[in-house]
């Protein structure tokens, strides 16, 4: 009976979380992306855009409130059962790794901008500067990374789209601000070593500015492609 009760609780928790994430995905895909909003030069069109943004902001606030309620419910139930608490800790860890939780911690902030009055998107993408910087930060201990407040996960993409760069299918513009959460001492060794990547960027007219912080904030992923072909199979062991 106790086992059935725990299973029912877990089912309810994950069901509620799935609904919230579904609402979030639909909201963000439907009205968060400014490019998806109709452009109009008249007052009626401008007001419509403002109304849509207000609806979007209200929906995000509601989603955050629902998520807090879910977290409180999970925490309450987890304290009643050691096994459930351990399971919740694992779920929280996986949610963080998947990018579905906001992250905060010590880290580094690197800003890249052109020393000339020109668009550096094509240059940055052609020479893979952002990709290489992400890889090197990961090598030196970065546990969570974002570019212009877009969370980088295992399924993220950084690509050139016309005259700008897309991160997670959303356009970004210079300056490119890369945030990494992790071991500050490891980041300092990396920056002091000044790998060839920074030298190459400097030669191409890209200036880099580095700041270490005790409180680097990285938001949760706001848009992710749905799984279509992945199938989860039960363990036979």
pLDDT tens digits in sequence order for the chain, 237 residues long: 444 555 555 555 555 555 455 545 444 444 444 444 444 456 766 677 777 777 777 777 777 777 777 777 666 665 666 666 666 666 666 666 666 678 899 999 999 999 888 889 999 999 999 999 999 999 999 999 999 999 998 888 899 998 999 998 899 999 999 999 999 999 999 998 767 999 999 999 999 999 999 999 998 887 666 666 666 666 555
C-alpha gyration radius of the chain:
21
3-state helix, strand, coil in the chain (%, to 5): 50, 20, 25
To the question of pTM greater than 0.75 for the whole model, the response is no
In CATH, what is the architecture of 103-218?
Answer: 2-Layer Sandwich (3.30)
For the record, the structure tokens of 103 come out as 């992250």
pLDDT (tens digit per residue) in 159-207: 999 899 999 889 999 999 999 999 999 999 999 876 799 999 999 999 9
The domain ranges of the chain are 2-97, 103-218
Give per-residue pLDDT as tens, 30-43. 444 444 444 445 67
The verdict on whether omega for the bond into residue 106 sits within 30 degrees of 0, i.e. cis, is no
Q: How far apart are CA 78 and CA 151, in angstroms?
A: 28
Closest to 191 measured CA to CA, from 217, 171, 211: 211
């Amino acid at each position: 009976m106790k086992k059935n009760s725990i299973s029912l609780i877990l089912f309810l928790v994950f069901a509620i979380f799935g609904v919230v994430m579904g609402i979030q995905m639909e909201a963000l895909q439907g009205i968060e992306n400014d490019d998806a909003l109709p452009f109009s030069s008249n007052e009626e069109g401008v007001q419509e855009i403002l109304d849509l943004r207000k609806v979007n902001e209200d929906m995000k606030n509601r989603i955050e409130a629902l998520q807090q309620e879910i977290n409180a419910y999970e925490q309450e139930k987890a304290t009643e059962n050691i096994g459930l608490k351990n399971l919740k800790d694992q779920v929280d860890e996986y949610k963080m790794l998947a990018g579905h939780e906001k992250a905060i911690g010590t880290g580094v902030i690197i800003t890249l901008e052109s020393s000339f009055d020109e668009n550096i998107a094509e240059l940055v993408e052609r020479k893979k500067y952002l990709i290489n910087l992400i890889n090197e930060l990961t090598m030196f201990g970065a546990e969570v990374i974002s570019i212009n407040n877009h969370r980088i996960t295992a399924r993220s993409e950084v690509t050139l789209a016309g005259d700008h760069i897309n991160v997670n299918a959303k356009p970004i513009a210079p300056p490119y601000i890369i945030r990494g959460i992790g071991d500050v001492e490891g980041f300092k060794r990396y920056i002091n070593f000044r790998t060839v990547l920074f030298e190459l960027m400097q030669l191409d007219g890209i200036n880099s500015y580095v700041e270490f912080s005790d409180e680097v904030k990285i938001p949760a992923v706001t848009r992710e492609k749905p799984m279509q072909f992945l199938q989860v199979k039960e363990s036979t062991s």
